[in-house]
Amino acid sequence: MTGPLGGLLAAPPQVVAAGVGVFSDALRTQGVSVTDVEWRPPTLGDADDLTVLALDPRRATANRTAVERVLAAGSVLTDVLPAREVLDLPERTLLHSGPPLSWETASGPMRGAFIGACLFEGWADDAAAAERMLAAGEVAFDPCHHHRTVGPMAGVVSPSMWMWCLEDPVHGGRAFSSLNEGLGKVLRMGAYSAEVVDRLHWMTRTLGPVLQRAVRSRAEDPLDVKGVLAQMLQMGDEGHNRNRAGSLMTLRELSPAIVEVDAPASDIGAVLRFIGGNEHFFLNLGMPTAKLAMDAARDVPGSTMVTVLARNGTEFGIQTAGTGGRWFTGPAQTPVGLFLGDYGPDDANPDIGDSAIMETYGVGGFSMAAAPAIVRFVGGTVPDALATTERMYQITLAENPAMAIPVLGFRGAPTGIDVVAVARTGWLPQINTGMAGRVAGTGQVGAGLVQPPPECFTGALAALAAAARAAAV
């Protein structure tokens, strides 16, 4: 052998070993010289906690039960109603995305959305009065997730807002979400100008009632929202930041019923134009669909599956099937991605919104391979999108056959984030998200990619391990 590798086999082998010592010890017993490298795979949390969960005899069965419930869950659209009727909200209560917060801890876009909601409800005459009311504690705050509700970005829901009402025909669960406002300067991005409030009033006065009558007219043949979500993945959407196909399919399904509603032609035309011009219209149907599936897996003792990923612009919170509604939180990270106009990284608020429920369900960032065009909106490359989905298979418990990804040979989407797998690998879930402006009133400044802080998973790992120890006593 000649060339630069010619002497490779001329000398005795030199062995370098990393990881567990059993391999090194076996070689040394055979007289082989071994150089050990002090390296271990990156992990999260306490090693003893991870060991306890890995050996927990309940875990395999519990995770199988949780996964089966998630995969079996369905989602049909049953009604459209004001929040005060379906959520039983007191008049001076606002729901919001993510884990619990206060006015003092609320970020700029969350404060902007709270202000806008007060103006919309008529609780205050101007932004200054609304801010004084909110700072004085005259309005109560509660997470959407505490009311079987999910809201994108700030996710603020007030009593007069109209809500999508969805049901799971398999498990009997119900879930809710507000109607999507569109992109740009909108309440969910923290904007509260007259334009924003006027749009909300039109949605309450016209959009909600028209959609209600259209949806109720289909009571014998309700819209199968899970079916639409499954088709989206085969048409270039990933179900979080890209909803073009899903919004168009929803328009196709609802438009015959909409045009038959007994309302002024101008109102019907305005509703159809609004839906047709709103590429994210379906997002607020996809989110409660994912919520229904993940809620079906709540309260399964011993399960290490994540049931909630949610952010309020200050903190990121997760919940798991084995710990019910308990929150595990850490500081929200700022997304990295592409910006609109002259905006840049300094303009972006940390991660915000309940829309990461889509990733919890296995779509969104977990199904980027189904929507390579998404990289033009959130950044990265097509190979990055494919690699992201491949990596997410390593931290999930199942593949969802209903959510097939064409480019991967119709392999099911990676579904059911496993706290143990995240801790073992050190790989955090990937989320596609919009970016709201840091300053209240700004609106959307871009879109990008973000991950949860590791503290969420180390906290969940410790709590799950404590429950496993208690169960073993």
Taking 70 as the threshold, does the pLDDT of residue 365 lie above it? Answer: yes
pLDDT of residue 376: 85
Rounded to an integer, the average pLDDT of 18-35 is 65
Last residue of a domain, one of 233, 265, 289: 289
Query: Quick one: pLDDT at residue 91?
Result: 83
Give the global pTM.
Answer: 0.91
Residues 403 and 411: their CA atoms lie apart, in Å, by 8
Do residues 70 and 168 lie in contact, with contact meaning Cβ atoms separated by under 8 Å? no
Least confident interval from 16-25, 254-263, 452-461: 16-25
pLDDT (tens digit, 9 = 90+) per residue, 302-334?
999 999 999 999 999 999 999 999 999 999 999
Are 427 and 396 in the same domain? yes
Does 255 share its domain with 123?
yes
User: For residues 366 and 413, is the Cβ–Cβ distance under 8 A?
Assistant: yes
Q: Look at residue 41 in the predicted model and tell me its pLDDT.
A: 57
Q: What is the rounded average pLDDT for all residues in the chain?
A: 93
Task: State CA 155 to chain mean position distance.
Answer: 12
Looking at the fold, whether 307 and 448 belong to one and the same domain comes out as yes
Contact in structure between 328 and 459 (CB atoms under 8 Å) = yes
CATH code, 177: 3.90.1710.10
| Same domain flag for 282 and 321 | no
**Domain of residue 28, residue span:** 1-40
Total of domains in the chain: 3
% of the chain exceeding 70 in pLDDT: 93
Q: Looking at the structure, do residues 218 and 90 belong to the same domain, yes or no? A: yes
Percentage of the chain exceeding pLDDT 90: 87
Q: Are residues 378 and 325 in the same domain?
A: yes
Give CA–CA dist 424/50, Å, rounded.
8
Chosen domain end from 256, 289, 322: 289
CATH number at residue 381: 3.90.1700.10
Of the candidates 196, 193, 437, 200, the residue with the CA atom closest to the CA atom of residue 313: 437
Question: Given pLDDT bands bounded at 50, 70 and 90, which one contains residue 473?
Answer: confident
Lookup: tokens for 462? 């410790």
pLDDT in tens, 85-111: 999 888 899 999 999 999 999 999 999
Judge if 12 and 141 occupy the same domain: no
Say yes or no: 239 and 327 in one domain: no
pLDDT score, position 185: 92
Residues 320 and 200 placed together within one structural domain of the fold: no
